[in-house]
Structure 1
Amino acid sequence: MKTQSIVMAGLATLLAPALAFAHPHIFAEARLEIVSDEKGGIGELRNVWRFDELFSASVVLDFDKNANATLDPDELKEVGQTVLESLAEYNYYTSISDNGKSVKVNRPDSITVDYKDNQLLMMFAVKPAETMPLKGKLSFGVYDPTMYTAMDFPTDEDLSVVGDKIEACQHQVVRPDPDEVLAENKDTLTDAFWNDPTGTDTSKLFATRIEITC
């Protein structure tokens, strides 16, 4: 269990040393679908994460109990359960803003894990912890607040909306320019952020997001 915790700490930085180094060590390509429900609100957020080969290989190394150089169904299930538990305190890397108010998500039922072409894939859906009607300005994104894992959306199409009601709203993908973010927030980026991003919520300013206006 100890080796497994060390591997999955890459996702949740559970064992990362104080983050004096605030830059990514793990890289993942992400896809996010914002789904509306029949009542005209946000139903769920569907995630697909594909991790880099180096991190994927390290997970195989520590979860491959029968040493067959891959992850069998029971081993994949164990990886999913480990991530399900360890990312809870990080809101499953989900950032939601409802007209300026941050919204948490409920714990997903499960995280499905697969291993293809030497890369680890994770798929799961989360629901907002409170009712979110399609009204005003809503924002959704996926990012690691510790900045240890870089979540990248390769194309704007990887951030999308699903459902007649939400598709009727205006939506745009926002990719913040780091230099502009630093310039615009130089007076509010405190020493606490630079020394320990886990203690602040400022890193979300740098994260790609989809904004929806209804």
Structure 2
Amino acid sequence: MSTQEIPLTLTPQQAAQGVVLTVQLPSGPAHLTVRPCRHGELVAARLGDGTVYLRITVAGAPAAPKKSGGLGCLVTLAVIGALVGGSYLLNHDEDDGSGSAGPGPMPTFSYEPFPSDPVTTPTEKEPDPYENGTCLNGTLPNSETAQSVSGVEEVPCSASDAHYKVIQTFPFTSDMNRCNANPKTEYAFSHRYTMNGTTISQYVYCLVGLGSYAR
């Protein structure tokens, strides 16, 4: 039986000194204790009365090789915002009634490529942060409301179904406004990795469309 691995991004200081995170479990808050570790290392961490295995990513370090493992209770969520000409204000907060700083509303989408059932979840490739230059397939629908999509995965940039390319990555945030700083951005793509409803790590990716998907 393969070991369940959960991706966790730490700052260089957290990785060097160790860190204690608070995770909300069904039985109440519990502490996730992570010892000092290195980039790419698989570490066992105490979570309440149990043990979980974390694949460590240190921000700013080269990406570790991707490994296969059981996803367990890992849930991947994403929100995607499409930009026209890279000039729209990216805003994915549905409670914000203020207008965009562009000529019209921005489409937003949600992405759930993996099931959330910790018992029936199949063993698949563990999701790792995308590097700059990574190409993705799939199609992001034109919609002004959040909706579930599937089939957006990493592919070789030479593939005929390579539709989008990552041009910048922001760790530790789900604020797609960060992509406004890059004038080449055509799409914003936000991933949140959660465990038991608690966000473990999150990323915002700035994308450009390829071929007919360019804006």
Tell me the TM-score normalised to structure 2 length: 0.26
Greater share of helix: 1
Between the two structures, name the one with larger relative contact order (CA 8 Å, sep ≥ 6): 1
Tell me the TM-score normalised to structure 1 length: 0.26
